[in-house]
Structure 1
């Protein structure tokens, strides 16, 4: 009996999609990302410790903020670089530079006592590299797995971030206690170095010829303008970026400086604040685990919008928690809802954006989160000093809730789905 070759070819091409958490290629990417994030956590602890030891508190604070300026100024250009050169190449180069810089400062501190200048220079280098690293890191998952697995990958990425925050600080503290800041910087450099060979071994999906042309179709300025136009004209991306911006602006102040001031106002002390932060971390980790296991949630745009709305109510309620136990439970709810909405928004961003523009799209959303949202922290601190935690938390919750309103009121975003 003869066999139809067309049928044979079609059958041979039907390959079941491997879940991301069982895909060796994705797991290599996850290992690289986790090592880099743990290295980052150790680096920040080492930098703050070394800066406090070498200068005054004001000087240490200045060193810690040096990296924010180039990161904010260069982030959009970093998105253009990520699209032009490819996200994997940019991440590998960024990690190599950060590793070399951390190890150089470690050697300098081990041999001499140079003061603050190498720490400020290191912070400047990390901030500059972050401007291209962050957009490339955000664009890479869409190139290492199928679109249907991106929600699961976002969950896995969230688990890696939680793991890095839990493990990085104790590792850095142990390194400082054992060998001082030089040992901690050396450990940070080595951890970041682990990511490089793993990333080299990661296979990425190449862009079609038309998309490659779109990624590098003119001058850098023209590429940036075209990327911004892509966001502005997109029915889902434009409101999604706005929803992310409002959510972050209302979230960052209360959950950073505001929580410290709330614990002081209520007399909970450092241990009480630690328990509240732990509750938030557990909630965010649970949301990441849910997406890792489920892989996809239906009605992603609608779920993200309602999660932002409910999370904003929890933020407002946190300021009125009568006891530490209630505050911990409320913070757990905030973490769960914020983690869920953040992962869904990230997955929608990656699936809705044209692959050729993904670095630039990630740069815009990251600029909002890392460049503009931190500006709310000194504003929140000043406002709490004038009016107390309750009113400021409520205003922040209202701003955050507006992000949910945008997600639910724009039909294209509300109806947005993640691919199967």
Structure 2
């Protein structure tokens, strides 16, 4: 049984020193970050912030991303992605250590928590575009999808374990110590990244000759010149706004009563995490001749989930819908990221992925914001049914685009961005390299 599982998972990728260290860094960072919302929420409550304060603090983690992701993408391409990620990890660790000291000594007002959450978000905005651009520097070609799938699986595992570990620790000790553990994971991530070696001096030299805004414009040209890229991003972003947002905001009201609704909705959401894990496993093994077309249908699980909520299906059926939704979005992310890395020039990768990040954060924010007021006007069930119709109609529009029906992006070119290679030469460095 174990041998069969090992044969299905691309664990041989972890034999490469650079990839092993990169994924260890990602695993440490994801585990710590997934603990933060619970630790931060309880820290706010313990210091008198109340429920409204928790909402204000958690919201402060989102808004800066919309502004700073683009800057993070430009600077990652300019400074080098590994250096940018290490800097982001060290900055977040320093911020959290400072906050831990304050919490354990004099305490912190609500305004301090808001500033803390915003500062963490600004630092994180530099990490995410750099990471997406860094993976193709370590692995390329046919193994890109496997590497992205393995990364997605690590994200899913961390997202499942982190909240559970945080909840247990908060019940046992002060939330400040959970924040301290998160700081330690960022230091571990920086240490792992420091051991990754790639060769990107040529592209870095050419980037430094351009101004910040010139580089931002170049990133936009790379993004807007690819019909498949901006159309698929618009498709998934609008799905987040019109379908995912209402599902997340209205779902709990459709599950159970006041006594057990929260517990049942928690079970439904846990199934989404399991689905994400299964989607990651699928991404490791499945190969699509037309991955962009396949990614369009990955949203159908979310549409089905919305429809099941609209008819007030029993919880065990909602669990299935949530699982399909999580699996679909995980596979979509893998296919999307692999296509992006295969088709976009390596020196613009972080900037282009930053546009993806801004659209994702903005669409989710709008989705959370508009769902409840609109449901009050038209009815929750009607809004959820609109999401189902939107899923089908928008998918039909996407399928009509020739660029979406074509084969995998980047197959026509070789080199780092092509689909014909394996581990990059830099990733084959012996373990003694420094």
Give the TM interval when normalised to the shorter protein: 0.7 to 0.9
The residue number in structure 2 matching 1:369 is 360
**Does 2:343 match 1:343?**
no
Cα 1:213–1:320 change in 2 (3 A) is: farther
The 5-angstrom pairing of residues 361-400 of structure 1 reads 361-400=352-391
Aligned match of 1:62: 56
CA 1:27/1:407 → structure 2, altered by over 3 Å: closer, same or farther?
A: farther
Equivalent position of 2:168 in the other structure: 174
Aligned to 1:4: none
| Mapping for residues 208-223 of structure 1, pairs under 5 Å | 209=202, 211-212=203-204, 215-223=207-215
Of 25, 28, 34 in structure 2, the residue corresponding to residue 32 of structure 1 is 25
Equivalent pairs, count? 401
Q: CA deviation at 1:111?
A: 1.5
C-alpha offsets along residues 143-184 of structure 1, whole Å, 9 cap, x if unaligned? 221132121122112211211121111222233233312211
Which residue, out of 324, 329, 338, partners 1:333?
324
**Among 241, 248, 268, which residue is 2:240 paired with?**
248
Query: What SS class does the counterpart of residue 345 from structure 1 fall into?
Result: helix
Task: Name the SS for the 2:197 alignment partner.
Answer: coil
- Cα deviation, residue 346, structure 1: 1.8
5+ residue gaps, structure 1, are: 1-16
In structure 1, the partner of 2:92 is: 98
Q: CA deviation at 1:333?
A: 1.7
Question: In the aligned structure 1, how far is the partner of 2:301 from the partner of 2:180?
Answer: 43
Kept in 1, the 8 Å contact 2:253–2:261? The answer is no
CA contact under 8 A between 1:106 and 1:185: conserved in structure 2? yes
Tell me, yes or no, if the aligned pair for 2:80 and 2:204 is still in contact at 8 Å: no
Residue 317 of structure 2 corresponds to residue 323 of structure 1 = no
CA RMSD, Structure 1 to Structure 2 (Å): 2.4
Cα offset, 1:192, TM superposition: 1.7
1:409 matched to 2:425: no
Aligned residue among 337, 340, 352 for 2:343 = 352
Distance in 1 (CA, whole Å) between partners of 2:200 and 2:393 is: 38
Q: Could you tell me how far 1:96 is from its partner in structure 2? A: 0.5
Alignment of 1:209-288 (within 5 A): 209=202, 211-212=203-204, 215-263=207-255, 269-288=261-280
Deviation at 1:320, TM superposition (A): 1.8
Q: Secondary structure at the match of 2:145?
A: helix
Point out the more displaced range, 109-118 or 364-373: 109-118
User: Quick check: 1:298 aligned with 2:289?
Assistant: yes
Q: Distance in 2 between matches of 1:403 and 1:350?
A: 25
- The alignment partner of 1:202 has SS state of coil
Q: Is contact 1:162-1:285 (8 Å) kept?
A: yes
Question: For residues 130 and 206 of structure 1, what CA distance do their matches in structure 2 show?
Answer: 23
- Name 2:41's counterpart in structure 1: 48
